[in-house]
């Protein structure tokens, strides 16, 4: 077996990156492909350290942010996360296997309360709202998934959509807010 120096250095770089993430407390499989220039943070909330688990054959592209903020992010096997996607795990995020997340998507698992005008918004705690994304889901470019939403297995969400409510399995949804326009047969 002949391996070029370039390929050997890329493999070494990838393995060093995976070892570094494991050293930070990220549970990650060695079959994952993790680009450089990503942000992964466990964070703390109410004295509890966050949790991030990335299963086998997952690919995370450059510019991605995975920030648990003391919550959790669980990514099942064979998931693709496109460039510059942001996932905040305050309230918990679960992403099912074989899911495609295009570039510039946002997945948010919390919200702010809206106090009366005598209180500062920032002074109030986050409302934790878990997000569940099923298996074999495709989120188009620039999709936003808001907290408390479940995206069923096999859904397709069109580019730029904002998902504010649950999507039934095999739905095709588009728009702001996202509306189901079709079902995958």
Give pLDDT tens digits for 118-141: 988 888 888 999 999 999 999 999
Q: Are strands 110-112 and 138-139 parallel, antiparallel or unpaired?
A: unpaired
Active site (annotated) includes residue 112: yes
Q: What is the CATH class of 5-183? A: mainly beta
Rounded distance, CA 57 to CA 59, Å?
A: 7
Whether residue 64 is preceded by a cis peptide bond, meaning omega within 30 degrees of 0, is no
The whole-number average pLDDT for the span 4-21 is: 76
> Is the pLDDT confidence value at 6 over 60?
yes
> For 12-32, what is the mean pLDDT?
85
The whole-angstrom separation of Cα 115 and Cα 121 is 6
The Cα angle at residue 155 between residues 177 and 146, in degrees rounded to 5: 40
| Cβ-based neighbour number of residue 177 at 10 Å | 12
Give the β-pairing of 162-163 and 156-157: unpaired
Q: What is the pLDDT of residue 112?
A: 86
> Is residue 94 within 8 Å of 114, Cβ to Cβ?
no
Cα(11)–Cα(30) distance, integer angstroms: 11
Instruction: Name the residue with tokens 């397709």.
Output: 156
Q: Six-digit token pair at 92?
A: 């918990």
Tokens representing 171 are 């739905």
| Other Cβ atoms closer than 10 A to 3 | 10
Q: With 90 as the cut, is the pLDDT of residue 86 above it? A: yes
CB atoms within 10 A of CB 147: 21
The pLDDT confidence band at residue 3, using thresholds 50, 70 and 90, is: low
Enumerate the domain spans of the chain. Answer: 5-183
Peptide bond into 178 cis (omega under 30): no
Supply the mean pLDDT for the chain: 92
Q: 9-23 burial, b for 16+ CB within 10 Å, e for fewer? A: eeeeebeebbeebee
170 is written with which tokens?
């095999």
* pLDDT tens track for 38-68: 999 999 888 889 999 999 999 999 999 999 9
pLDDT score of 164 = 97
Q: Is 8 a residue whose pLDDT tops 70?
A: no
The answer to whether the pTM exceeds 0.85 is yes
């Amino acid at each position: 077996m002949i391996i070029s120096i370039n390929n050997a250095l890329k493999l070494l770089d990838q393995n060093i990156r995976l070892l570094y993430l494991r050293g930070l407390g990220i549970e990650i499989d060695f079959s994952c492909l993790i680009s450089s220039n990503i942000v992964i943070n466990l964070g703390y909330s109410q004295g509890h350290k966050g949790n991030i688990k990335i299963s086998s054959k997952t690919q995370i592209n450059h510019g991605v942010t995975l920030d648990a903020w003391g919550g959790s992010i669980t990514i099942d096997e064979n998931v693709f996360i496109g460039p510059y996607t942001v996932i905040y795990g305050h309230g918990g995020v679960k992403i099912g296997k074989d899911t495609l997340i295009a570039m510039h998507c946002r997945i948010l698992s919390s919200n702010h309360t809206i106090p009366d005008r005598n209180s500062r918004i920032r002074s109030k705690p986050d409302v934790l709202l878990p997000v569940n994304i099923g298996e074999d889901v495709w989120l188009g470019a620039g999709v936003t998934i808001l907290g408390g939403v479940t995206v069923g297995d096999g859904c397709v969400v069109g580019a730029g959509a904002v998902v504010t409510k649950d999507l039934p399995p095999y739905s095709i949804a588009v728009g702001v807010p996202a509306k189901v326009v079709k079902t995958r047969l």
